[in-house]
Chains A and B, each alone.
Chain A
């Protein structure tokens, strides 16, 4: 069975500091990994994905994520946080062979203070 774990309900960061939002996964086949962001009153948006290739993937708004196969992790990172990054972040996974059936984590609320 596929599953995603986001161990932190909330992450608090000062503006300008680096941020990390953690995600670990379990999938039977090749993992397709994703990060989405949900801004207040703006719906859910795709940030980035990992399918194959370089373990460090870059996405929208300066975010990046590092795929670690041995630790089954896909942590979201940004070198310098902005107040406008404050939102709800979701990690998602699917098996490469199961198109359409994304499994989402429970979400992590990121709060960036000035």
Chain B
């Protein structure tokens, strides 16, 4: 089956620790996205990538980093500089940037700080 997988479903971070959230897609999509979802705030764009080896900052990129070395993978690292990382993180992909109607979302990863 084609789709997006995110792992793990739940992730715990200790103070001062970097953690990496995985996002993999087998849809052959060029564009991939990372969103953060907080209660009462909707989704906010962290980073997006239109093509391999290229990515752009979204509205809340501070304290996060990404890489896009392979078309199917777009991992997100939450660094220790992100002071309030507890949230639900959603990864998405689309054939190209701007194809919102064919944007697929993953099941999400919930990050909790210990």
Name A44's closest neighbour in chain B (CB-CB).
Answer: B105
B-facing residues in A77-114 (Cβ within 8 Å): 90, 92, 99-107
Is B106 in contact with A43, judged by CB distance below 8 angstroms?
yes
Is B50 in contact with A44, judged by CB distance below 8 angstroms?
no
A-facing residues in B48-89 (Cβ within 8 Å): 48, 50, 56, 58-59
Q: Which residues of B contact A105 (CB under 8 A)?
A: 42
Q: Which residues of A contact B (CB under 8 A)?
A: 4, 6, 9, 32, 34, 43-46, 49, 90, 92, 99-107
Q: Does B45 contact A (CB under 8 A)?
A: yes
B42 to chain A, nearest CB (A): 4
Besides A44-B43, A100-B98, 15 other A-B contacts (C-beta < 8 A): A34-B100, A43-B105, A43-B107, A44-B90, A45-B105, A46-B100, A46-B102, A99-B50, A99-B98, A100-B31, A100-B48, A101-B59, A102-B45, A102-B100, A103-B45
Q: Which residues of B contact A104 (CB under 8 A)?
A: 35, 42-44
Is A100 in contact with B50, judged by CB distance below 8 angstroms?
yes
**Contact residues on B (Cβ < 8 Å of other chain), bracket:** 20 to 34
Is B100 in contact with A106, judged by CB distance below 8 angstroms?
no
Q: Which residues of B contact A (CB under 8 A)?
A: 31, 33, 35, 40-45, 48, 50, 56, 58-59, 90, 92, 96-98, 100-103, 105-108
B55 to chain A, nearest CB (A): 10
How far is A106 from B40 in the complex, measured between Cα atoms in Å?
Answer: 5
Is B101 in contact with A100, judged by CB distance below 8 angstroms?
no
Name A107's closest neighbour in chain B (CB-CB).
Answer: B42
Is A90 in contact with B100, judged by CB distance below 8 angstroms?
no
How far is A99 from B103 in the complex, measured between Cα atoms in Å?
Answer: 13
Q: Which residues of A contact B103 (CB under 8 A)?
A: 46
Contact of B100 among A4, A43, A49, A107 (CB under 8 A): A49
How far is A107 from B106 in the complex, measured between Cα atoms in Å?
Answer: 18
Can you report 17 residue pairs joining A to B where beta carbons are below 8 Å apart?
A4-B42, A9-B40, A44-B92, A45-B105, A46-B102, A92-B100, A100-B33, A100-B48, A100-B56, A100-B98, A101-B45, A101-B58, A105-B42, A106-B40, A106-B41, A107-B40, A107-B42
